[in-house]
Amino acid sequence: MQYAQLVQLAFASLQANVRRLTFWVFAAVFVLLALMLYRGPIGFAGMTASGAPLATNADYAIAAMLAAFSFFLMHFTATLCGDPIVLDHRLRLAPILRGTPLSPTTYVLGRFLGGYLSLLAIYGVYVAALFLGQFLTPAETKLTLPWRLEPYVRHSVWFLLVPTFFVGAVSFAIGTLSRSMRMVYVFASALLVGWFLLLSSMSDSALRELAYFEPSGQIWLGEKVAKNRGNAWLNEHSIAVDWGFALNRLALVVLGCVALWITVKRYPRLDTESEAPPATRALLARVWAWFRGAQPQVADRYEVWSGHARVPQVLPTERGVGLWLATLWSAFVTELRLLASERSLWIMIPIVMLFAGATVQSFQGAFNLPLYPVSSEYAALMVWPLLMFLAGTTIFYTGEVFHRDEASGVRGILYATPASNGAFLLAKYGAMVALGVSMALLAALTAMVNQFVRWHGLDRAPHVELAPYVVLGVHVVLPAILLLCALALVVNVLVRQRYVAYFVLLALGAAYVWWVGIQGHRSLLWNPLAVGHWRYSDLTGLEASARALGWHHAYWAVLLVGGLALSNWLLERTSGAVRAALHPRAIASRPVPALLTLLAACGATWLGFEIRERQDVRGSKAEAEARALYLEDTYLAELQQPRLTYDDVDLDVVLRPEDGEVDVRGTLVLTTAWPEAVETAYFTIDPLHEIRRFELEGARGPLRQDGEVVRFDLVRPLSRGERVTLRLDWTCKIDPGLRRDGGQVASFVLPSAVFLNSFSGELLPIPGISPDLFLRDEERRREHGREKLSTLRERVPGEFVESAFGTDVAFGFRARIEAPKPLTVLSTGLRTGLDELGERQRSTWQSDGRVRTFAILAYDYEAEKRGGDQVFFHPSHRYNVETILTALDDARRTFGASFAPYPHEELKIAEFPRVADFAQSFPTLMPYSESIGFLTQYDPKSRFVDATYFVTAHEVAHQWWAYVLHPGASLGAQVLSESLAEYSAMLLIDSKRGERARLIFLRREEDTYLRQRNADKEPPLAKLENEGQAYWYQKGALVFTMLERRIGRARVLEGLSNFIERWNRRATSAQPSYPTIRDLITELKRTHKERDLDWFYDQWFDQVVIPDLVVHDATVRRNGSTWTVDFAVENVGTGRAVVGVEAITGEWNLDELEGDEKFRASEPLALTVDAGKTVRASLSSTFAPERLIVDRLYECIDFDRTNNVVELGAPDEAATPASAASRPN
């Protein structure tokens, strides 16, 4: 090795790179990025969270930032490291260098080191900027700890130096050996795509195991360091690298070294290898030759050249459309030929197939269950990942295609021909579109084959429909490809430099994802891919949606044409002619491109105004937020004022889904439940509605409307027991076609389906001021300088508490609903009549008993009935109907027996056909989405919860925990509905599916809670408002399960039953009031007066604690046929844990349906372990125990269960104490 030359070569490369403008541009961008982490709007991993923000210079934050930074800039690393020798060949410098005494090894390693040092220099700038950022005053929402240097150095080694060395070395090997940067890009893309797919397809538990194999270190940081930790903990603690992670880093270094070693060995032989005649090569050698791009030289037999062949005089065709089309076609065919000869594309094909296959395989429904391979699901869910993938390949290949002529030296010859700019550009554009379409087709084909195979695996006839793929391809994928290719081409033409064009396009892409995906500004005007604006059903039940999509497509098509025309106009075919092209004389001589550009600009402006007028009827997101803040400032105080409530609802409803409209006429009787009289009656309505009549009896004057708020001053204050009548006649105008901002669907009136309910403001005015009018999102509020908005408060015992959901008193409900014939209309209560009206039909609905909410749902359903239980579903989604019917029946019987009789005759489950992603329970009617239960595929042998059965049980439980027992509007109200519904579903699973199903359910609940909780912001259950589902679903259910373990299930059920009875009586009394979480606790305590469990209620309802048990010092003694295990259990977490400890033998594995026959467990020993304490104890077994396990039956939430098991040694007096690894909390 020539060390001096090696160093010289490396530093020469470094110097050459440092002199490049691009180097400094990137360095400047990285500095800006680093400084914005301290001062700007860029947040990272909870840095801007309220409560305890993650410090920008916390040990964990530094590691996470460097890990993400080095990994997501994969292409940058690959480019800098993969290019050096490719560049030498491109510049024809390599032969000169190799003609010097420089050894090939020195040359290869020197060039690699040069590229790698350049990379480190740029990344070093980023690290230095991160370090210096510590001395800035942090932004108000961010935190900077006292300055430190060591973590930056340490983590630069683990998370920057090592992964970039791996990526760099492999890229260098690929680039050098193939002499093609495209191969390098494909490698980087494959690595990135593979990484995302791996992550998205992994279950939570698999992710934990993957932590040691994943190259970026991000999974390790997430799973082994940050999981369940709060920012406060992360701010205070250093990251200790464990052996597994150290081995991971070592493996990357070794792999990088192997790549370099192969390069050093193969590089000197590259040229000689290519001279071997291809026919003698084995297949592998041919592949190797193909990879290297080797082309055997043709012998030049000039001795046979006569040089006198007669060349015919063939003149060019006269100008015209025919000539233009012929040149366009020829150029297009040539571009296709050139694309087909791209070696990298042949590698891309399996990547696309892998990507498509893995993407559809990774689709999961509720509770991580796979979905049945239905075409609409496959096609719809694949669209966005596919488009993201296509965006990347389009950006890259358009750059390659556009700059190919220049790079290969053909441009001079081509541009000197009379072929028009349009032919050149459109040919390239067409080739790119063809490539995109081919990839999309390949992906669709892969998905269909996948479907086919999976149907076979399910022992069902394959049911692969082409229509969903075609519909989505035509409406979404093809327009997106057309737009992406055009954008990429325009940027390349205007920017002219390939790498700058990549940079601009990536920046545009990132800005788009940030603006549309993260900020949620999804106006069609700025959303070329219509992200968030459609679901599959929008496209199948076209009409209104088609109109909206049509406007969108027209708008972007005009912009596309304009962009292509602009490219045509400004294509720099003659060097230095761009300025000249803008000269009036030049425009006059070639007016079409300029005119077309101008026309397109005018057309797009006109269409933009039209779309804004027709589609963005709710205004932009900024306008909506400003409005919400105005409403909050004006009406927040009214939330606490007495309000009216419905006492009787009688409606005539005409559904006109083809127009996206509903006509409602009604007579509504209102009263109040409040002790104080109502003087001013407020209603919340949808301001889009066309009001014909809105008259309140007893009001002084007509209504006064302020957008969403309608106000009446009453002539005489209305007291409890008094009633007034509201006469209503309006047309609900649901947003035309595609929904605004692509937000969560509350109500919809689409040709394919209708969903309306009584508390969204579309069907009926909501009495009082709806808190939904205000800006609730905490992040957005902080952007506007507002504190967290709390609309609930803790209530004083004896105080009147209004209802949390629905109306303050139950009302009678009658409705006559007219709809087009193919639609089956469903509503709350019983259908008492059905009249034919030609092409339409009218059904009459009446609630059997009083209700607090109602819904109207319409779809072309198929129905299955069993007694009063009914399931309405999409005709081809019959898979889980039997399970749903069973769950309905089980739930009705079990809950009826346990809590209170079910007050209605019917229980109806209806499918949302892909128009919503949620489940919602109304009295007697429970709609939920197909991915939640209708298409989830459950295998009883699996380690998952049966989502269909569970979700049905949960929604049925709401018939009791929302409608029979109506929670009061107080902090913790969600516990009285969601936690109890979740707990009730667990009861049903336990009683009908057995212990294993219960334990699987509890394991999932605990895991979900620990993953999703925010350790710094978690409120106690009794203070819950709307902070997160993991608290009210998972933690709530776990707490009631723990209570069950303390006082027994019978007492819990007794308490709940009494609670319902007491408060249901109160709710239907003349002086209604509604219960709070305190009332529930009081009721539960009544069932076990003899035992003091105040600590339990205090700990789990009013505090936030998480015990973490560690078992250690376990030894076994044998005395005849008895084995005694001595051990210690330490609680390194917070709060008190009451658990059982067992000695076991054989395998204990919840994931196995058939348990180990040898499995035996000792009688559990109950232990109470307080936080920070260690309890030493002994237990006996009548068999030789192999392990000691703490809390096998999920009796207490445990932070980390990996420390709950310890292997026991041989049972003799000299047994060595065994210990589980301890860890800090």
Partner 1 sequence: MLEIKNLRKTYPGGVQALRGVSLKIENGMFGLLGPNGAGKTTLMKCVATLLEPDDGSITLNGLDVLHQKEDVRRVLGYLPQDFGLYPSLSAEQMLDYLACMKGITERAERRRLVGALLERVNLASVKKRRLGSYSGGMRQRFGIAQALLGAPKLLVVDEPTAGLDPEERNRFQNLLAELSGEIVVLLSTHIVSDVTALCHDMAIIRDGLIVQHGTPREAVDAMRGKVWEKIVPRALLDKYRSRLPVISANPAIDGIRLRVLSEGNPATVYSAGDGFVAVEPNLEDVYFSFVTAPEAQSHLAGSGSGSHYGR
Question: What is the Cα–Cα distance from 382 to 195, expressed in whole angstroms?
Answer: 17
What is the spatial distance between Cα 943 and Cα 1192, in angstroms, rounded to a whole number? 16
* Of 291 and 455, CB closest to partner 1: 291
Q: Considering the complex, state which of residue 298 and residue 637 has its C-beta at the smaller distance from partner 1.
A: 298
The least CB distance from residue 316 to partner 1, in Å, is: 3
CB of 574 to partner 1, least distance (A): 5
Do residues 806 and 852 lie in contact, with contact meaning Cβ atoms separated by under 8 Å? Answer: yes
Q: What angle do CA 939, 944, 947 make, to 5 degrees?
A: 80
Q: Which is nearer to partner 1, 270 or 506 (CB)?
A: 270
**Residue number, 19 or 585, with CB nearest to partner 1:** 585
Min CB(432)–partner 1 separation in Å = 17
CB contact at 8 A, 1105 and 1021:
no
Closest CA to 722 of 660, 769, 679: 679
> In what helix (H) or strand (E) does residue 995 lie, and over which residues does it extend?
helix 995-1012
For residue 151, what are its two tokens?
């973590």
Picking from 505, 350, 531, 362, the residue whose alpha carbon sits closest to that of residue 439 is: 350
- For the CB of residue 65, give the shortest distance to partner 1 in the complex, in Å: 40
670 with 765: CB under 8 angstroms? no
Nearest distance in Å: CB 315, partner 1: 6
Q: Position 966: which residue type?
A: H
Q: Which is nearer to partner 1, 301 or 1089 (CB)?
A: 301
CB-nearer residue toward partner 1: 3 or 305: 305
Query: At what angle are helices 162-178 and 181-201 packed, to 10 degrees?
Result: 140
Which residue's CB is nearer to partner 1, number 411 or number 612?
411
Between 322 and 675, CB nearer to partner 1? 322
Cβ at position 629, least distance to partner 1 in Å: 52
Residue whose CB is less far from partner 1, 265 or 337: 337
Phi and psi dihedrals of 283, rounded to 5? -55, -45
Query: What is the enclosing helix (H) or strand (E) of 703?
Result: strand 699-706
Least Cα distance to 1182 among 1113, 1119, 1114 occurs for: 1119
Minimum distance from residue 6 beta carbon to partner 1 (Å): 33
- Minimum gap (Å) between residue 481 Cβ and partner 1: 24
Q: Which residues pair with 907 in a beta bridge?
A: 869
Q: Could you give the count of Cα atoms lying within 13 Å of 711 in the half-sphere of its Cβ?
A: 12
Work out how close the CB of 342 gets to partner 1 at its nearest, in angstroms, rounded to a whole number: 8
Shortest distance (Å) from residue 290 CB to partner 1:
12
Q: Which two tokens stand for residue 1074?
A: 């509604």
Q: With respect to partner 1, which residue has the nearer C-beta, 312 or 838?
A: 312
Q: Which is nearer to partner 1, 411 or 1118 (CB)?
A: 411
As measured in angstroms, the least distance from the Cβ of 99 to partner 1 is: 18
C-beta of residue 359 within 8 angstroms of C-beta of residue 197: yes
Contacts of 1050 (CB under 8 A, 6+ apart): none
Q: How far is CA 731 from CA 654, 691, 708, 763, in A?
A: 9, 7, 15, 9
CA distances to 422, 605, 608, 612 from 602, rounded to whole Å, are 21, 5, 10, 15
Which amino acid is residue 643, in one-letter code? R
Strand arrangement, sheet containing 678-684:
699-706, 709-718, 678-684, 766-767
Integer-rounded Cα radius of gyration of the chain: 35
Q: What is the largest CA-CA distance in the chain?
A: 118
Amino acid at 611: I
Q: What is the DSSP letter of 932?
A: I
> How many Cβ atoms sit within 10 Å of the Cβ of residue 1070?
7
Inter-CA distances, 457 with 445, 452, 635, 940, 1206, Å? 18, 9, 58, 16, 39
Q: Which residues contact 99 (CB under 8 A, 6 or more apart)?
A: none
- Cα separation of 774 and 797, whole Å? 28
Measured from the CB atom, the residue of 576 and 875 that comes closer to partner 1 is 576
Dihedral pair phi/psi, residue 1087, rounded to 5°? -80, -10
Residues at the contact surface with partner 1, assessed by CB under 8 A = 295-298, 300-302, 304-317, 319, 322-323, 326-327, 330-331, 333-334, 337-338, 341, 404, 408-410, 412-420, 423, 573-577, 580, 585-586, 589
Residue whose C-alpha is closest to residue 403's, from 499, 478, 336, 288: 499
- What is the SS3 string spanning 206-224? HHHHHCCCCCCCHHHHHHH
Which is nearer to partner 1, 77 or 180 (by Cβ)? 180
- Decide whether 435 or 817 has the Cβ nearer to partner 1: 435
* In the complex, minimum distance from the CB of residue 570 to partner 1, in angstroms, rounded to a whole number: 13
Closest CB to partner 1 among residues 258, 416? 416
Q: State the minimum distance, in angstroms, from the CB of residue 343 to partner 1.
A: 9
The minimum distance between CB 317 and partner 1, in angstroms, equals 5
Residue 326 or 1205: the one with the smaller Cβ distance to partner 1 is 326
Q: What is the DSSP letter of 1019?
A: P
308 or 1089, CB closer to partner 1? 308
In a 3-state reduction of DSSP, which class is residue 706?
strand
User: Least Å distance between CB 78 and partner 1?
Assistant: 23
C-alpha closest to that of 1106 among 1050, 1056, 1173, 1035: 1035
Handedness of CA 682, 685, 687, 691 (dihedral sign): negative
Ramachandran bin of 529, using left for φ above 0, alpha for ψ from -120 to 50, beta for the remaining angles: alpha
What's the min distance (Å) between Cβ of 311 and partner 1?
Answer: 5
Q: Exposed (0-12), middle (13-18) or buried (19+): which is 1214, by Cβ within 10 Å?
A: exposed
Instruction: Name the minimum Å distance from CB 339 to partner 1.
Output: 10
Q: Least distance in Å: CB of 424 to partner 1? A: 9
Nearer to partner 1, 577 or 636 (CB): 577
